[in-house]
Amino acid sequence: MSPKYNSNFEDDFIVLGARQPAEAAKILRELGEETLADRLAAADSSRVRGAGAFATGLPIWPFQDRAWQHTAHAFGFITLDDSSTSLKPIKFAGAIQPDQSLKSTPIKITLDRLRVADYPGGGTHNILFDFYARNQVQDAEEHLHFNVYLRALEGQEAAVIGHPIFVGLNVGSEGLALRCRTINVRNDADENMLSFLESDTFRSGLRLFSTAQPALIPFSEMAVGIASGILKRNRNVPVQDFFLGLDFSKVVTGARLAQGSYIIIQIPDRLQRIWDWNDWQYDPLTGSIVNLRDANRILPYNYIVLGLTKLQDDQRIDD
């Protein structure tokens, strides 16, 4: 069995918001963000001298208003619903009832939304996803990676809904582990190279069996290799990195596994402690997350929506 993660990939994958100011400033210059790079460089110089606000222990970044610079995430959930067009409430993913029928059952995971509220560099963003999951088969585990490549304009949503990621992913008795990472691809050569990920083969997702598939190991290693190679190229920068562990327990600090939509939002750390999902609802007419008191105000942060459903009998693949 292949290792869970590629060690070089782990070492290289540091989101922009977790970089030191001097390091982040260099990356921002490559992306054309000269003003922000200058502010970071000046802040780093002040920190080194122990002068100004940095002597008080305040954050070393001189600005906190860019959505891409945050490393914290909020995890919400929308339950399965009928086709009504009313606004849908969103709950914290740890405050829902787990669906016990999903134990030892194949499921389907789809990418249903991607909002690029603010990515570094501006303009049209080419975004490479690395999705990771553990597939439980015959008392063993397969560590799977799958790549998705999308384009989105700054401040808008990508043209994606229901993009299959894992089809027939087998849930273990303890639950499910997912990880997602996004890379903002700005290197022209890499943009051309990644176009093959838009083929019908990759649009159909990673289709899984209930038994072990030796071919999945090299396929997953290839997916990691693609993402790892992209990371090493100039102007390509990691933006989001989150882990979503879903289980069937009653542990209040965890998150539950159920059929529905999981919303993962990149938010400032200061909001993580006071974030209230009751302030936001999902509008099925527009496909947007809107403010409860002002439906014209959409969520101002980068977010991803993953759909999770039980695999239907007519979708299953024979072993």
The dihedral region occupied by 139, where left means phi > 0, alpha psi between -120 and 50, and beta the remainder, is left
Range of the domain at 95: 71-311
pLDDT tens figures, 85-140 = 889 999 999 999 999 999 989 999 999 999 999 999 988 999 999 999 987 766 66
pLDDT at 263: 97
Nearest to 289 by CA among 304, 275, 274, 270: 304
- Asked whether 217 and 207 are in contact (CB, 8 A), the reply is no
Please list, in sequence order, all residues whose beta carbon lies within 8 angstroms of the beta carbon of residue 77, skipping any fewer than 6 positions away.
90, 91, 92, 93, 96, 256, 258, 260, 261, 262, 263
Strand locations in 203-250 (E): 206-207, 237-247
Kindly report the number of other CB atoms within 10 A of residue 81's CB atom: 13
What distance lies between CA 108 and its chain's CA centroid? Answer: 17
Q: Tell me whether residue 57 is in a domain.
A: no
Nearest to 163 by CA among 205, 201, 209, 129: 205
d(CA 181, CA 73) in angstroms, rounded, equals 12
User: What does the block give as tokens for 173?
Assistant: 């008795």
- Asked whether 184 and 122 are in contact (CB, 8 A), the reply is no
**Residue whose tokens read 């054309």:** 32
β-strand partners of 169: 107
pLDDT at 25: 92
Kindly report the number of other CB atoms within 10 A of residue 31's CB atom: 21
Q: Tell me whether residue 230 is in a domain.
A: yes
CA distances from 284 to 5, 69, 153, 175, 246 (A): 36, 29, 21, 28, 25
pLDDT at 82: 75
Q: Tell me whether residue 224 is in a domain.
A: yes
d(CA 262, CA 40) in angstroms, rounded, equals 34
Q: Tell me whether residue 97 is in a domain.
A: yes
d(CA 30, CA 32) in angstroms, rounded, equals 6
Q: Tell me whether residue 302 is in a domain.
A: yes
pLDDT at 215: 56
- Residue 160 burial (CB < 10 Å; 0-12/13-18/19+)? middle
pLDDT beneath 70, residues of the chain: 1-9, 11, 44-60, 137-140, 196, 198-203, 209-218, 313-319
pLDDT at 2: 39
pLDDT tens figures, 60-89 = 688 889 999 999 999 999 999 877 788 999
What distance lies between CA 175 and its chain's CA centroid? Answer: 19
Q: Tell me whether residue 317 is in a domain.
A: no
Give the chain's domain count: 1
pLDDT at 130: 92
| DSSP strand pairing (72-79 vs 91-92) | antiparallel
Residue 146: phi, psi to the nearest 5? -145, 135
Q: Tell me whether residue 23 is in a domain.
A: no
pLDDT at 115: 95
Residue type, 139: D
Q: Tell me whether residue 280 is in a domain.
A: yes
